Amino acid sequence: MPESQEQTPAQKLIGTFLPKMVSLTDDVLFGDIWERTELSKRDRSLITVAALIAGGNTEQLPGHLMRAKDNGLTETELKEVITHLAFYAGWPKAMSTIAVAKRVFDEP
């Protein structure tokens, strides 16, 4: 990679450990799926955040919460997603998500 080109998040996270995952993440997931016009990026962010919460996958939540805000979701809407999913995905998953969201939203 030329020195002037900034690394993608996948390149920063994975590096040369598993190049195929970098390629799939950059080229397929974010290069194709996230760019499809059948759903807005706002909707894709809402779906992704909900899926991560429901699956208890809090490690990837910080990046996706920030992406959701960049794609037009408000903190109020994202907090409502957490509240709603507490009853559909489970209280412990919602509580774990709150801890992550507080850090992302810089709240005490």
For the chain, the structural domain boundaries read: 1-36, 39-108
From the candidate CATH numbers 3.30.420.80, 3.20.20.140, 1.20.1290.10, 3.30.300.30, the one assigned to the domain spanning 39-108: 1.20.1290.10
Say how far apart CA 4 and CA 78 lie, in whole Å: 35
Element (H, E) at 87: helix 75-88
Q: Is the pTM of this model over 0.75?
A: yes
| Whether pLDDT at 1 is above 60 | no
| Whether pLDDT at 43 is above 80 | yes
CA dihedral 81, 85, 91, 94 (to 10 degrees): -40
Under the banding of pLDDT at 50, 70 and 90, the label for residue 27 is: very high
pLDDT of residue 108: 65
Q: Which of 69, 81, 72, 71 is nearest to 106 (CA)?
A: 69
Rounded average pLDDT over 32-38: 98
Tens of pLDDT, residue by residue over 47-90, are 999 999 999 999 999 999 999 999 999 999 999 999 999 999 99
